[in-house]
Amino acid sequence: MTERSPLAPAAFPQLPSIAGVTPHVARARYKDWDRCDLTYVELDEGTVVAGVTTQSKCPSPEVEWCRDAIPLGSARALVVNAGNANAFTGHRGRAAVEAMAAKVANHLGCKPSDIFLSSTGVIGVPLPVEKAEAGLEAAFAAPACSWEDAALTIGTTDTYPKGAHVSALIGGQRVELVGIIKGSGMIAPDMATMLGYIFTDAAIDASLLQDMLSTANRQSFSCITVDSDTSTSDTVLAFATGRAGNPPLTSMDDPGADAFHAAVTDLCRQLSHLVVRDGEGASKFIEITVEGAENDASAHRIALSIANSPLVKTAIAGEDANWGRIVMAVGKAGEPADRDKLSISFGATQVATGGLAVEDYDEAPVAAHLKGQDIQVGVDLGLGNGRATVWTCDLTHGYISINADYRS
Amino acid sequence: MTERSPLAPAAFPQLPSIAGVTPHVARARYKDWDRCDLTYVELDEGTVVAGVTTQSKCPSPEVEWCRDAIPLGSARALVVNAGNANAFTGHRGRAAVEAMAAKVANHLGCKPSDIFLSSTGVIGVPLPVEKAEAGLEAAFAAPACSWEDAALTIGTTDTYPKGAHVSALIGGQRVELVGIIKGSGMIAPDMATMLGYIFTDAAIDASLLQDMLSTANRQSFSCITVDSDTSTSDTVLAFATGRAGNPPLTSMDDPGADAFHAAVTDLCRQLSHLVVRDGEGASKFIEITVEGAENDASAHRIALSIANSPLVKTAIAGEDANWGRIVMAVGKAGEPADRDKLSISFGATQVATGGLAVEDYDEAPVAAHLKGQDIQVGVDLGLGNGRATVWTCDLTHGYISINADYRS
């Protein structure tokens, strides 16, 4: 991995084991590198699955495979290949996915549709099946690995491994949820994003888990953007082994369902922020909150218009309280807005209100806020009760260096 | 002006005078600089006007003024202020516009609504009325200036003055059209763009001129993007003095109307390309053509998705034939696309077809093409007959330097 993002957490967190989940890593050597690049996670029988995938019209065959398998609701293994996205590879890419699923299903004695797969890396080169098969053999034989090893192994241009942990009480029984995720460029989730995996020992219906994941996704992964570019391979999967021994959750009315749903949302949000904090070239983590919009969806679109504006992102990189560029981004969003009711703040300081600059506002706290790593931008449209928050990073020379030099 | 764009034309073109149009420039000193920053163009009585303005929901008061005045169809003067956009300045910004219009109308003995105004520069600082009034007095007294001086004076972060000229025959009478334009960042026209002005001696109905300008705009300014950021002040105005003596055009069925319409479109396209060639930090001029889409509108949206993708723009800056990023941008556009029917080319070389890379395609001509300054990207969706072309530039360290350092 390259130099660690300045926004990275100090260390990988302590994550508990999840009963029924056994991760392994191996070297498939998809690229000419000396690192593990194949992750194989074995799941106990009875594990249920939920997932959200990219809305791209050009998805990878792995995404298509997962889309077909998710509704069946059961899972026995997850395979993640790093270094080759296997996207836009025609029938050969599809054949590679089928071969991997068949091999793992044969190993476990289950249906191929119980096997979930993702690949990430270069687009347009079919995944070499022989390397994948040899990598799987090595993974089958390897001892269980740590979550940190698994998080490292699914990464590509990531500068640090990303994991998080939450827990919840269901009917007096504590359940654990662990998530790992990768991603730092081509991040503009459209209902789903990147490669993220959540493992829990909770007992829960697949369809209820899907509802919870879909809702959580709309409040987390769908609220982040690094560069407005949506990947062909974005996938978030949640696996529940049921080994915690809690009274199984089958509906949102069950005791503990609310707590578990909140835990899923919390975990998704933590994971999504870890991705933004590894945004390519990022030097600032930016939270943008839009209030007073006509409705929440409108607030969300305006917030994303600000978050994706290169002029706003470069201004914040330059620690410049350039609220004029925020006005511009509000104006171009195509959503209801009234210039003369607009208020804008950086941190706790309002810099513009009622359609013009606050005269003689105190620049010192604004300058101090912008020098920090965590930037808050607030916009009040003054129209209604719609509200949304999104998270992004700034746009720096680092992004250009990474992406103008990275060869396909 | 800063260092000239590497994509700039060798020299400002020779532009003819337009009968009935007299440009002047003056120093209003809107910023602490030693250059002309106020342009005043006097128009003979009988001049008709057409215009298109930004779709931003937070437009400047100048844009609102023009929106009100354009439908009245007549014009006697144009005033352009550089260095202060007067946008997001509340009632004080509006008052400044009214004061300038009143002063010019008084000078010419015409209605204030015959005066057209634009301002460009910093957002959020009310235009100082005294400076504007003194600048206008100086302009009234100044001799007529050249088109090059006028083009220089309307510029801000532009690195070269931009003008173009076409002519047409109407009923045997040659008419001239001259255009000047400014813009290099915050360029993502939404039906209109930047500040552009077209002057012609043709005799034509205001409403017909409006129809022609609106159509031309959709094929020129609406097809360019530098950074996906839409300005609060975008305005293109066309003024026709009627002094050429051609049989007046009143409908598209009139002899010469087609030729004149083609000339307007040609001029708009030339002007729009000059803006892209001055895109902030640009080192490559990129033409993106999408064919085989379900319809033209769909092709246009896909082409803009490619043109606005930071990953595509940085790849081209790096002279990298990274067609995987083009697949990504097609996929995220939200328009009908079938991965397995997609073809992609750089210059004359097809690099991917039928959903996968062309095996062993000749990389030499692709590498040579990408080393040049004029890059062509072709996408064939293989679905229908929809077609669109857009123009953009690459994304380089220069863009970051310009925009992370430029203070509000």
Cβ–Cβ contact B332 with A under 8 A: yes
Distance (Å, whole) CA A250 – CA A64: 27
Closest residue of chain B to A335, computed from CA coordinates: B57
Residue B257 and residue B289 in one domain: no
Residues making up the annotated binding site of B for substrate are: 156, 182, 193, 280, 403, 408
**Chain A residue with the nearest C-alpha to that of B405:** A318
- Of the candidates B126, B324, B404, the beta carbon closest to that of A124 is on B324
Contact A328 B229 (CB under 8 A): yes
B248, B276, B304 - which closes a domain: B276
> Across the 408 residues of chain B, what is the mean pLDDT of every consecutive 10-residue run?
80 93 97 95 94 81 92 94 87 94 98 94 88 98 97 89 91 90 66 71 93 88 75 80 93 93 91 86 93 94 92 92 89 86 93 86 92 96 94 89 68
B203 within some domain: yes
Residue where one domain finishes, among candidates B257, B276, B295: B276
**Per annotation, catalytic residue among A54, A193, A241, A392:** A193
In whole angstroms, how large is the CA radius of gyration of chain A? 22
CATH number of the structural domain spanning residue A201: 3.60.70.12
Per-residue pLDDT reduced to its tens digit, B283-335: 999 999 999 999 999 999 999 999 999 889 999 999 999 888 898 899 888 89
Quote the pLDDT of residue B4.
87
- My answer on whether B161 and B304 are in the same domain is no
pLDDT for B187: 62
Structure tokens at A324: 């004029």
**Measured between CB atoms, does B293 come within 8 Å of chain A?**
no
Q: Do A117 and A62 reside in the same domain of the chain?
A: yes
**CATH code for position A389:** 3.10.20.340
| B21/chain A closest Cα distance in angstroms | 33
Q: Is the distance from CB of B393 to CB of B226 less than 8 angstroms? A: yes
Q: Which domain holds residue A365?
A: 285-405
According to DSSP, the residues that pair with B147 across neighbouring strands are: none
Q: Which of B120, B193, B265, B392 is catalytic?
A: B193
Per CB-CB distance under 8 Å, the chain B contacts of A342 are: 58, 88
* Cβ A122 vs Cβ A408: under 8 Å: yes
B323, A124: Cβ pair inside 8 Å? yes
Give the largest CA-CA distance in chain A: 72
Kind and range of the H or E run holding A286: strand A285-293
Burial (Cβ within 10 Å: 0-12, 13-18, ≥19) of residue B55: middle
Give domain status of residue A15, yes or no.
no
| CB contact at 8 A, A392 and A313 | yes
Residues B154 and B114 in one domain: yes
pLDDT tens-digit series, residues A229-282: 766 767 888 999 999 999 999 999 999 999 999 999 999 888 888 888 888 888
Q: Do residues A266 and A342 share a domain?
A: no
Judged on CB neighbours under 10 Å (0-12, 13-18, 19+), B361 is: middle
Q: Which residues of A touch B226 (CB under 8 A)?
A: none
Q: Is residue A101 domain-resident?
A: yes
Q: For the segment A126-178, what is each residue's pLDDT rounded down to a tens digit? A: 899 999 999 999 999 999 999 999 999 999 888 889 898 999 999 889 999 99
Given a cut of 60, whether residue A408 has pLDDT beyond it is no
Residue B243 and residue B20 in contact, taking contact as beta carbons nearer than 8 Å: yes
- Asked if A122 has any chain B CB less than 8 Å from its own CB, the reply is yes
Domain count for chain B, please give it: 2
**Is B395 an interface residue toward A (CB < 8 Å)?**
yes
What distances in angstroms separate CA A397 from CA A282, A362, A394, A401, one per listed residue?
Answer: 9, 30, 10, 6
Are the beta carbons of B314 and A404 separated by less than 8 Å? yes
Number of A–B residue contacts, CB under 8 Å:
237
CB contact under 8 Å between A59 and B339, yes or no, is: yes
Q: Do B247 and B314 fall within a single domain?
A: no
B256/B297 same-domain check: no
Q: Is A308 annotated as a binding residue?
A: no
* Beta strands A195-200; A235-240: pairing state: parallel
Q: Does residue A199 sit in the same domain as residue A125? A: yes
Question: Is there a contact between A356 and B124 if contact means CB atoms under 8 Å apart?
Answer: yes
The reply to whether A371 touches chain B by the CB within 8 Å rule is no
* pLDDT for position A11: 92
Asked if A193 is an active-site residue, the reply is yes
pLDDT in tens, A40-52: 999 999 999 988 8
- C-alpha angle A289-A274-A187 in degrees, rounded to nearest 5: 75
Give percent of chain A above pLDDT 90: 61
Which residues in chain A have their CB less than 8 angstroms from residue B396's CB?
A: 400, 404
**Are both B86 and B128 inside the same structural domain?**
yes
Torsion of CA A148, A153, A156, A161, to 10 degrees: 0
Distance separating alpha carbons of residues A245 and A261, to the nearest angstrom:
18
Q: Residue A183: what pLDDT?
A: 80
What is the nearest CA distance from A264 to chain B, expressed in angstroms? 27
Interface check B333 vs A, CB under 8 A? yes
Q: Closest approach of chain B CAs to the CA of A335, in angstroms? A: 8
Interchain proximity A332–B56, CB inside 8 Å: yes
B196 neighbors B221 (Cβ within 8 angstroms): yes
Output the six-digit token pair for A397.
């020379």
State whether the Cα torsion A218-A220-A223-A226 is positive or negative: negative
State ipTM.
Answer: 0.75
Same domain, B210 and B293: no
User: What pLDDT does B190 receive?
Assistant: 45
Is the torsion defined by CA of B101, B106, B108, B109 positive or negative?
Answer: positive
Is the domain of A88 the same as that of A195? yes
Q: Provide the token pair at A152.
A: 């490292």
Is B257 among the domain residues? yes
C-beta atoms of B332 and A59 within 8 A = no
A342 touches chain B (CB under 8 A): yes
What does the pLDDT read at residue B378?
Answer: 97
Contact between chains at B310 and A403 (C-beta distance less than 8 A): yes
| A311-362 tens-digit pLDDT | 899 999 999 998 888 988 998 888 988 888 999 999 999 999 987 888 888 8
Angle of helix B206-218 versus helix B257-276 axis, rounded to 10 = 50
Q: Is B298 helix (H, G, I), strand (E, B) or coil?
A: helix
B298, part of any domain: yes
Q: Which residues of B touch A122 (CB under 8 A)?
A: 324
What is the predicted pLDDT for the residue at A123?
80
Task: State the virtual CA torsion across B294, B295, B297, B300 in degrees, nearest 10.
Answer: 70
Q: Which chain A residue has the Cα nearest residue B319?
A: A404
Q: How far apart are CA A303 and CA A330, in angstroms?
A: 8
Q: Considering A225, A254, A276, which residue would you say is the last residue of a domain? A: A276
Query: What does the alpha-carbon distance between residue A175 and residue A167 come to, in Å, rounded to a whole number?
Result: 6
What are the tens digits of pLDDT across the range A183-232? 876 665 543 446 888 899 999 999 999 999 988 888 888 877 777 776 67
| Domain assignment present for B11 | no
Interface test with A, best of B86, B193, B313, B328 (most A CBs within 10 A): B328
> CB distance A123–B324 less than 8 Å?
yes
Smallest CA-to-CA distance from B119 within B96, B142, B103, B140 is with B96
The DSSP secondary structure of A106-121, one letter per residue, reads: HHHTS-GGGEEEEEEE
